[in-house]
Structure 1
Amino acid sequence: MAPTETSPLLENGNGVESSLPFSRRVLKAVKGEGEPSWVASYQYFLFGSWFNILLVFIPLSFVSHNLAWDAALRFSFSFLAIVPLAKLLGEATDQMSVKLGQTLSGLLNASFGNAVEIIVGIAALLEGELMIVQTSMLGSILSNILLVLGCSFLAGGFYHKQGNFQVEGAQASASLMTLSCITLVIPAAYASTLGADDGKDCPISEDEGGCPSSGLLTISRGTAILLLFVYGAYLYFQLKTHTDYFHRKVSDDEPSEEEETEARMGTVAAGTALLLVTVVTAFCAEYLVASIEETATRYNIPKAFIGLILLPIVGNAAEHVTSVWMAMKNKYELTIGICVGSSIQIANFVIPLMVIVGWMTGHPLTLHFANFETIVLFVSVFLVNLLIMDGKSNYMEGLMLVTLYIVIALAFWVKG
């Protein structure tokens, strides 16, 4: 009796495909049409950059934590392990974005663009290190808008007398950063006026009506929800209704500077890589946070300095290199997008998310930063606004930003 239909495994007519191992057939089935194979995808992912040499610190981080080595070694190994992981997170996100289109790519980058900061923040939050959560978030903002942007302007200024970028997009980003700064000033003003405690030294098991005050918690949580809504509107504004604000207008006789990300990984392979790296980063972040207290005490390093200066370097290392490189190639829209855009993500997405997560887990995290931190953020945003509102940059502006960052780092080292 003749078969009614042909098996798909024999559609090539010679049965070659049916002889493939089951695992190979599954991998081939989940690889998209025209996409690199899984082997090629992971070869590029793991060996595509000399930066990945630092991945050797991942097993060292696991071993040092489980064998209870010296706190400085545990902190250093975990610190160095997260640096390449941050780059791999960005690479996997970019590769997934190739096939997803502009809108989904924007949402994906919004979710994973600051994945390291989110993971480190949640790890510190669950450990009850509320001060580390706040200072690391503030440090990420300052690192992006002062150190990374300053170094980019400085490096780009040596190659180009003047850098140019879209004024409208810069103004929109600067205005949103100003709003974020104001929303952090209001809880500080409320706490100072009414004498409300900021809750940094409160036991996490204490009732919400105690320390910090219920009013401060209400303001912080309500503001967090509103900021998440504003951030969603900003994404729609940037990706849908006003995309021309964030792309430099190119004349007809000028070659376009748009560059598509080359597809070097399959979409499913990039997704599984993103998931795997996120899990490994979560473990390393937990080990890093667990070693902070002992490292700070034993080696007399201020915890505020660790949170504000050292931890942000972990998440911003890859962004720092990319931003400087784009400025040197006279692609300042990308530089502004990396630096100011990442700061907007932190201020309007990550910090509110941390407050909501703290609300859900019973940790009284608020938007009340200490007066000193609030003033530092305000003057930093003020200076950045002054420098980018005209849509132009030069090396002198970069030097100003880097100088302010060094002064802030020195102040937090002395402040302790």
Structure 2
Amino acid sequence: MNKRLFFLLIGASVVLAAFSHYFLQNEIIRFITASLAIIFLAAWLGKATESVAHYAGNRIGGFLNATFGNAAELIIAFFLVKEGNFDMVKASITGSIIGNVLLVLGLSVLFGGLKFKEQKFNGRLAGYNASLMTLGVVALFIPAVFLGELPLERIQTLSIVIAVILIIAYVLWLIFSLVTHKEFLADTEQEEGEPLWSKGVSIIMLIVATVFVAVVSEWLVHSVEIVSHTLGWSELFVGGFVIAIIGNAAEHSAAVLLAMKNKIGAAVEIAIGSSLQIALFVAPTLVLVSLLFEHPMNIVFSVFELAAIAVGTLIAISISRDGATNWFEGVLLLSVYIIIGTAFYFV
């Protein structure tokens, strides 16, 4: 798409969202315009990180895409925590994890597989990702298991301890994978073509787009609760799928495009890496940040959320462990996502 037209659409969507937020009283229109603006801004984030990946390599590019792509969800979740809407925060965390390992990875594997018969990526990296995903599932299960045996204040303390451990584990994983053992986990895919912008401009684009996402996210949070009640949607469905899909827009676009360029390693890094970042860094960070407000949030998830995360993690591990993908595996991932989404809608 022409660059001028691309930024014209972004500007128009943000202006429309701002007009709706400040001058219209209809919360559904506010929600729709804010969601549309975040999707366009997420596309901007995706383009900027893809340009950065040209200079830094697919692993760093994938990490940056996951990080800045998750910025939208982290910012949305921060305002939800501030409002004390913990159920929707946990639902959005759940939706983000399964959305990345099932929807984003599923679409990438499907469209990449339709163009290339089989796509391969670093199998050793896939093994480490599987172990880290298992750690995330275990960390979320433990507080829920002990909920009936411990008083709430001790559950809160347990949540803080788990949050700190997960953040430390994630930071150590970054050091291991990007510094001390990066040669073992390096991708073999080579960058082709020209980047959209220079390295400096690409970084500036990332920062500016993130600032815009922060502003529009606050508008979205103001309307999302009213919209969910108006339409009769549960907080589980809104947080787990509506907000998660909007927040994942950057990963959706970048991962699918990279897979269709036979860069499935970068696509997997975006999808799986983003889920790991949500489970091991974003969720624990929100628990610690909530301590700044009147009512802190614990890390206890509902049975529905835990089941969805466990099932999504299980099939993602089984598909990605061999370091090779094809289009049918994408169908399997998307099928599980639709099943879980339908269940969340009826809960």
Which residue matches 2:254? 322
Give the Å deviation of 1:288: 0.8
Which residue matches 1:225? 164
User: Conserved in 2, the CA contact under 8 Å of 1:227 and 1:352?
Assistant: yes
Give 1:386's match in structure 2, choosing from 318, 336, 341. Answer: 318
Change (3 A) 1:107 1:295: closer
Supply the distance in 1 between the matched residues of 2:262 and 2:48 (Cα, whole angstroms): 25
Aligned residues: 347
Supply the distance in 2 between the matched residues of 1:165 and 1:96 (Cα, whole angstroms): 20
Give 2:195's match in structure 1, choosing from 258, 262, 277. Answer: 262
**Stretches of structure 1 lacking an aligned partner (at least 5 in a row):** 1-43, 197-212, 250-255
Which residue matches 1:290? 222
Supply the distance in 2 between the matched residues of 1:258 and 1:264 (Cα, whole angstroms): 14
Change (3 A) 1:362 1:100: farther
Change (3 A) 1:362 1:310: same
1:404 has 2:336 as partner: yes
User: Aligned partner of 1:187: which letter?
Assistant: P
Which residue matches 1:357? 289
Supply the distance in 2 between the matched residues of 1:395 and 1:305 (Cα, whole angstroms): 28
Give the Å deviation of 1:100: 7.9
1:346 has 2:285 as partner: no
Give 1:139's match in structure 2, choosing from 92, 95, 117. Answer: 95
User: Aligned partner of 1:345: which letter?
Assistant: Q
Give the Å deviation of 1:385: 0.8
Secondary structure of 1:86's match? helix
The percentage of aligned residue pairs carrying the same residue is: 35
Which residue matches 2:39? 83
Q: What CA deviation, in whole Å up to 9, does each residue of 1:23-48 have, x standing for no partner?
A: xxxxxxxxxxxxxxxxxxxxx9x936
User: Aligned partner of 2:197: which letter?
Assistant: R
| Structure number having the greater helix percentage | 2
Change (3 A) 1:323 1:92: closer
Which residue matches 1:241? 180
Greater relative CO (CA pairs within 8 A, separation 6+): 2
Change (3 A) 1:175 1:260: farther
User: Aligned partner of 1:176: which letter?
Assistant: L
Which residue matches 1:163? 119
Give 2:86's match in structure 1, choosing from 127, 130, 133. Answer: 130
User: Conserved in 2, the CA contact under 8 Å of 1:52 and 1:84?
Assistant: no
Supply the distance in 2 between the matched residues of 1:77 and 1:126 (Cα, whole angstroms): 23
Give 1:64's match in structure 2, choosing from 15, 20, 25. Answer: 20
Change (3 A) 1:386 1:97: closer
Secondary structure of 1:363's match? coil
Supply the distance in 2 between the matched residues of 1:359 and 1:98 (Cα, whole angstroms): 39
User: Aligned partner of 2:71: which letter?
Assistant: A
Give the Å deviation of 1:296: 1.3
